[in-house]
Amino acid sequence: MEERLFYRYLDHSITTVFLVSRSETGCLVYASLGSNRKELLKIAQLDFQKLTRKTKVSYGLYYDVNDSMLNLEQSFASYLDGSFTGAIPHEYIFGTRFQRKVWDELSKVKIGETTTYQTIAQAIGSPKACRAVGSAVGANRIAVIVPCHRCKPCDGSLGNFRWGTQLKNRLL
């Protein structure tokens, strides 16, 4: 059986965002950043193929312009503009239990603030797991909403970001 997922592109002044939601719930399950739409779709297809192999659930990506996706797109755009104060409904279909724990903690970091891998590790009760936290942050598949861009190394540098440090700096 296939789980239907809907996707749309959001063209924003900061970046293009590839949004994917569950057809059943309308919740955001994937958000990726970039400038090349074909590349964003290709990467998403590969990510969902890997997820299918891991979970044995088949995921179908369908371009759709339903009300739920339009609302999600508008909310995400407002979030990027800094004018959205609510929560964008999302759910995890990627990630291990540990990664999801890291993402939940990361989601507590407010707009305009940053944290470190060490702070996250301590908050989740694994103070020696800084590297594992860094890997979990890098495995996040719901960009911006789970704010991996707000996590930095302890040395205060910008650190890595899947979509480049220039974009990370703009998001901060």
d(CA 69, CA 87) in angstroms, rounded, equals 15
Single out the catalytic residue among 130, 148, 151, 154. 148
| Active site (annotated) includes residue 148 | yes
**10 CB-near residues (< 8 Å, 6+ apart):** 16, 17, 19, 73, 76, 77
For residue 162, the 8-state DSSP code is T
d(CA 35, CA 26) in angstroms, rounded, equals 25
Q: Which amino acid is present at 171?
A: L
Q: Which tokens go with 123?
A: 């908050």
Task: Catalogue the active-site residues.
Answer: 148
